[in-house]
């Protein structure tokens, strides 16, 4: 079966953000943290750009949260926007609360985590790195 994973881009904050995500979700990074400077043809990058993350992955349940930093000298630009969210479906109400509280720390809450008219326990926010998240728990869905 085809699998879909989220991939996030940052402007020099990928490793910091993923270390934070790891502190909330637990686990270990999948493989090493690949750096731009390890790739062929990157000799002319600045030391700061060489140290940027080319790829990082954190297993969360059966899924992967993946990410990298942009490199401006490659013509890449980052526009932080609300055009995508990482949507999480925890196994319990308590886990939903733990994840929401952890990830939203120092972020901007859009919708507080609370019971919604459609029957789910739901909340959304932008974390301190500009990533939009949705936390959604439905007891009926988990039966």
Segment 58-116, tens digit of pLDDT: 999 999 999 999 999 988 998 877 678 999 999 999 999 999 999 999 999 999 999 99
Which H or E run contains 25?
Answer: helix 14-25
Q: What is the pLDDT of residue 99?
A: 96
From residue 99, how far is each of 25, 75, 83, 104, 112 by CA, in Å?
A: 7, 35, 22, 8, 13
| Residue 53, token pair as written in the block | 């993350």
Handedness of CA 115, 121, 127, 130 (dihedral sign): negative
- How is the beta sheet containing 85-88 ordered, strand by strand? 85-88, 132-137, 121-126, 108-115
pLDDT band at 143 (very low <50, low <70, confident <90, very high): low
pLDDT band at 55 (very low <50, low <70, confident <90, very high): very high
| pTM more than 0.75 | yes
Instruction: Using DSSP, state whether 55 is helix, strand or coil.
Output: strand
Q: Over the range 61-86, which residues count as b (16 or more CB within 10 Å of their CB) and which as e?
A: eeeebbbbbbbeeeeeeeeeeeeeeb
């Amino acid at each position: 079966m085809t699998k879909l994973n989220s991939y996030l881009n940052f402007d020099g904050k990928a490793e910091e953000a993923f270390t934070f995500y790891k502190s909330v979700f637990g686990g270990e990074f999948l493989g090493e943290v690949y750096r731009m400077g390890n790739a062929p043809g990157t000799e002319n990058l600045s030391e700061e750009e060489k140290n940027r993350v080319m790829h990082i992955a954190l297993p969360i349940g059966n899924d992967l949260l993946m990410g990298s930093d942009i490199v401006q000298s490659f013509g890449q630009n980052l526009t932080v926007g609300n055009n995508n969210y990482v949507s999480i479906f925890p196994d319990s109400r308590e886990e939903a609360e733990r994840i929401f509280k952890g990830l939203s720390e120092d972020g901007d809450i859009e919708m507080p985590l609370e019971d919604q008219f459609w029957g789910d326990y739901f909340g959304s926010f932008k974390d301190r790195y500009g990533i939009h998240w949705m936390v959604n728990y439905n007891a009926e869905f988990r039966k």
